[in-house]
């Protein structure tokens, strides 16, 4: 007989806090590595300024994506067993390794990008996903359906 999966209950406040934390990590990370990241893209600061893309759209998309990522990490944490800080960190690392590293590795090898650029790009997601996992894993109170 098939075993039923545990019911997943999202704590949207925890997911929002985790998303904001990831967003702030990304902001700091890309501010610190901006020149190397732009070089890896073959772009300049002037090019970025001249694109005419609305920064509110960019930041909004990044924050929304982080929220969905935090929600997915929360689901995996709860399905894997009791919700704990350590389980959240492990889920963040495992999801990063299984999806982020593999997806970017495939993309970067075909795009012939540098190892430095690869490290900058996947590194921010490792740190962000560990932090998001820790937040949603540890934050069990006031869970909402």
Give percent of the chain with pLDDT exceeding 70: 92
Write the pLDDT tens digit of every residue in 31-86. Answer: 999 888 888 888 888 887 788 888 899 899 999 999 999 999 999 999 988 889 99
pLDDT band at 8 (very low <50, low <70, confident <90, very high): confident
For tokens 């300049």, the residue is 44
Residue 110 domain flag: yes
Question: Which domain does 50 fall in, by range?
Answer: 12-138
Q: Judge whether 2 lies within some domain.
A: no
Answer whether 88's CB lies under 8 Å from 133's CB: yes
Cα(101)–Cα(119) distance, integer angstroms: 10
Structural domain includes residue 67: yes
Asked if the structure places residue 44 within a domain, the reply is yes
Alpha-carbon distances, residue 25 vs 21, 46, 50 (angstroms): 6, 24, 25
Distance (Å, rounded) from C-alpha 104 to C-alpha 128?
16
| Tally of domains in the chain | 1
- Judge whether 79 and 5 are in contact, CB under 8 Å: yes
Evaluate whether residue 3 is within a structural domain.
no
pLDDT of 136: 95
Q: Are 85 and 138 in contact (CB under 8 A)?
A: yes
DSSP state of 8: P
The answer, yes or no, to whether residue 92 has pLDDT greater than 80, is: yes
Q: Is residue 75 part of a domain?
A: yes
Q: What pLDDT does residue 122 have?
A: 94
Which structure tokens are listed for 50?
């001249």
Whole-number pLDDT of residue 143: 46
Q: Tell me if 143 is assigned to some domain.
A: no
If DSSP states are collapsed to H, E and C, what string results for 33-78?
CHHHHHHHHCCCHHHHHHCCCCHHHHHHHHHHHHHHHHHHHHHHHH
Q: Is residue 102 part of a domain?
A: yes
């Amino acid at each position: 007989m098939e075993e039923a999966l545990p019911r997943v209950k999202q704590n949207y406040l925890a997911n929002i806090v985790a998303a904001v934390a990831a967003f702030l990590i990304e902001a700091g990370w890309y501010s610190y590595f901006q020149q190397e990241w732009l070089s890896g893209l073959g772009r300049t600061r002037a090019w970025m300024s001249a694109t005419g893309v609305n920064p509110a759209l960019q930041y909004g998309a990044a924050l929304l994506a982080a929220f969905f990522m935090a929600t997915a990490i929360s689901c995996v944490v709860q399905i894997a067993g009791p919700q704990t800080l350590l389980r959240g960190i492990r889920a963040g690392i495992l999801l990063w390794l299984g999806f982020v590293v593999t997806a970017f590795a495939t993309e970067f090898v075909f795009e012939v990008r540098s190892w430095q650029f690869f490290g900058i790009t996947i590194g921010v997601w490792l740190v962000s996903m560990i932090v998001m996992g820790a937040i949603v894993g540890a934050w069990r109170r006031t869970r909402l359906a």
